[in-house]
Chains A and B, each alone.
Chain A
């Protein structure tokens, strides 16, 4: 695996792990019996979830089902009260903080597009670029030809090549969403967590996003949280329904949509 090899080569010392993400024995992301509560409110309730290597998984569920909290737990933003979260077989994510998890290869796109408004499109991508992210190397860093090409490539992919030197702050909502997906790609992640990627996009943009995500699966494991069922249907092989902090059901879109419990939750709840 080329990407895993890159991790070991480039970020050696600053990474808390040595060696590859071990996915020989099954899932790349492994959540077991995870619970999180805020002041009495259980956001996640003994949730267990397994994401396979290279899989594109969609997470759906009504508001408050715990989708965003789940992402917070995986990326280290929120510490669960109980449970285990593993990246591959060997990497315990609960022992790592956000930057370490990000460097290990789990990257995230936020619900609200989070790009750096005061920086240009190019600079946004440059910051995301997978490279040595310690302070002194960052101070003296210079882009080499290969890295520039990589940025160029991603800009083309997300359709922002013409806006290279524009400040990200003046982009449209949809463009910001893409820029953020582009930043995700720059990090060459093993796992991409994508929270509501198509909010604010036009119909064409939605289609292109679906294409993009589909083209990425296999190379990356992707978890998409989305409300738009149409979109989910267009990309998902396997769908997980969350409800009140636990997994309600899992399966193909058709299976899920016909599950009486799901119908109950979405319509009768």
Chain B
């Protein structure tokens, strides 16, 4: 935990996260609904949502900020984790669906399916579903990354094929035949582990869980980045071929980080779904994945906590702006992309650091040489 002493921002971000994670559920536990200290269900799930996005941003910062792989399809892993969780929640509905079928979710009954497709087996089991939350994105990332990195697809090519990947998944999940609810996705959840998913206690618990996952993930990522593997990955980002001549199998290191980040994104998706109550194919849309990139860019990539700050800030701005002037949001998002890349390559964190410690820039910038 030396880094906490070296970098005060880390400490403050961690403190803030811990505070949010603990205080809100605690307040809601001890106060009644009309107390001024009580957080509404809306704000609890909103904050929960922000924290999920922060976790997702963190995962992208691992691949982009440290390994230099600009993934334009990180949302795909998020969505896969979300679908795994959604499938568990669907199976928990049981006979309480509109059609009351104990085995089949409503949309399958509606499509006249007679039995559960094989890939839905096991999802009634929470443990299995949790395993799939990590495995589904992990395996996809493994297969995709193994092919891509082994054949040394890099830079913009890789970015574009990751975008094509999420686009292909978007099209696929829109199809009813896929058996994931098509257009509407999975929704109308009732229970999680036997507790009513709408209840205040579960919401608070989800927030607590999300917050602690985020803190845990931040610490884990920090440890990885601080390890020798972290240094190898940073070296790969800056001079990929040189690392190869040092005897490291570059593709395996990239793959490691890519799969790790995909699993982290999957976890974020799994935490997200119970809190918003729905998962549908739009999560796969390339625009969603690009938004993740802008969170990290705004926050400052290659710093980890920058991604968290960026995700929360951008999403807060989105909530406020889409409420006030729906038309202005895309202008702001577009403007953010342009301004950040032109004027703030190190993001908000870079700005802070420049103020506080003018010397510390190189480690954070992570600029790819031409």
Looking across the interface, which residue of chain B has its beta carbon closest to that of A135? B256
Ranked nearest first, the 9 interchain pairs of A and B with the lowest CB-CB distance are: A102-B247, A139-B229, A98-B244, A103-B247, A114-B242, A116-B235, A138-B229, A141-B228, A135-B256
Chain B residues with Cβ below 8 Å from A110 are: 242, 245
In the assembled complex, the CB of B79 is this many whole angstroms from the nearest CB of chain A, namely 27
How many residues of B sit at the interface, in one of the four size bands? 20 to 34
For A116, give its contact among B227, B241, B242 (CB under 8 Å). Answer: B242
The verdict on B43 contacting chain A, using a C-beta distance below 8 Å, is no
Chain B residues with Cβ below 8 Å from A118 are: 234-235, 237-238, 362-363, 366
Flag B222-248 by CB within 8 Å of A: 1 or 0 each: 001001110110110111011111111
In the assembled complex, the CB of A191 is this many whole angstroms from the nearest CB of chain B, namely 12
Chain A positions near chain B (C-beta within 8 angstroms): 14, 75, 77, 97-99, 102-103, 107-108, 110, 114-119, 123, 126-128, 130, 133-135, 138-141, 167, 169-170, 183, 187
In the assembled complex, the CB of A266 is this many whole angstroms from the nearest CB of chain B, namely 30
In the assembled complex, the CB of A193 is this many whole angstroms from the nearest CB of chain B, namely 9
Looking across the interface, which residue of chain B has its beta carbon closest to that of A141? B228
In the assembled complex, the CB of B75 is this many whole angstroms from the nearest CB of chain A, namely 26
With contacts A139-B228, A139-B229, A141-B227 known, is A116 near B234, CB below 8 A? yes
The verdict on B96 contacting chain A, using a C-beta distance below 8 Å, is no
The docked-state distance in angstroms from the alpha carbon of A162 to that of B136 is: 49
Question: A135 near B231 (CB under 8 angstroms)?
Answer: no
With contacts A116-B239, A133-B247, A167-B362 known, is A123 near B231, CB below 8 A? yes
Chain B residues with Cβ below 8 Å from A99 are: 244-245, 247-250
For B249, give its contact among A75, A107, A134, A140 (CB under 8 Å). Answer: A134
The verdict on B252 contacting chain A, using a C-beta distance below 8 Å, is yes
Chain B residues with Cβ below 8 Å from A169 are: 362
The verdict on B126 contacting chain A, using a C-beta distance below 8 Å, is no
Q: A110-B245, A138-B229 are in contact. List 17 more A-B contacts (CB 8 A).
A: A75-B245, A97-B244, A98-B245, A99-B244, A99-B245, A99-B248, A110-B242, A114-B239, A115-B242, A116-B239, A117-B238, A118-B366, A123-B231, A139-B228, A141-B229, A167-B362, A167-B363
The verdict on B253 contacting chain A, using a C-beta distance below 8 Å, is yes
In the assembled complex, the CB of B91 is this many whole angstroms from the nearest CB of chain A, namely 35
In the assembled complex, the CB of A233 is this many whole angstroms from the nearest CB of chain B, namely 29
In the assembled complex, the CB of A195 is this many whole angstroms from the nearest CB of chain B, namely 11
Looking across the interface, which residue of chain B has its beta carbon closest to that of A128? B246
CB contact list, B203-235 vs A, under 8 A: 224, 227-229, 231-232, 234-235
Chain B positions near chain A (C-beta within 8 angstroms): 224, 227-229, 231-232, 234-235, 237-239, 241-250, 252-253, 256, 362-363, 366
The docked-state distance in angstroms from the alpha carbon of A117 to that of B363 is: 9
Looking across the interface, which residue of chain B has its beta carbon closest to that of A170? B362
Question: B253 near A127 (CB under 8 angstroms)?
Answer: no
The docked-state distance in angstroms from the alpha carbon of A98 to that of B270 is: 40
Question: B245 near A127 (CB under 8 angstroms)?
Answer: no
Chain A residues with Cβ below 8 Å from B239 are: 114, 116
The docked-state distance in angstroms from the alpha carbon of A107 to that of B232 is: 17
The docked-state distance in angstroms from the alpha carbon of A183 to that of B239 is: 14
Question: B362 near A138 (CB under 8 angstroms)?
Answer: no
In the assembled complex, the CB of A114 is this many whole angstroms from the nearest CB of chain B, namely 4
In the assembled complex, the CB of A125 is this many whole angstroms from the nearest CB of chain B, namely 11
Looking across the interface, which residue of chain B has its beta carbon closest to that of A98? B244
The docked-state distance in angstroms from the alpha carbon of A66 to that of B196 is: 72
The docked-state distance in angstroms from the alpha carbon of A118 to that of B367 is: 10
With contacts A135-B256, A139-B227 known, is A119 near B235, CB below 8 A? yes
Looking across the interface, which residue of chain A has its beta carbon closest to that of B223? A139
Most buried by B among A99, A107, A119, A130: A99
The docked-state distance in angstroms from the alpha carbon of A252 to that of B234 is: 44
Question: B227 near A133 (CB under 8 angstroms)?
Answer: no
Question: A135 near B253 (CB under 8 angstroms)?
Answer: yes
For A127, give its contact among B232, B250, B252 (CB under 8 Å). Answer: B232
Question: B248 near A133 (CB under 8 angstroms)?
Answer: yes
The docked-state distance in angstroms from the alpha carbon of A123 to that of B228 is: 9
Question: A107 near B228 (CB under 8 angstroms)?
Answer: no
In the assembled complex, the CB of A57 is this many whole angstroms from the nearest CB of chain B, namely 19
Most buried by A among B238, B244, B245, B366: B245
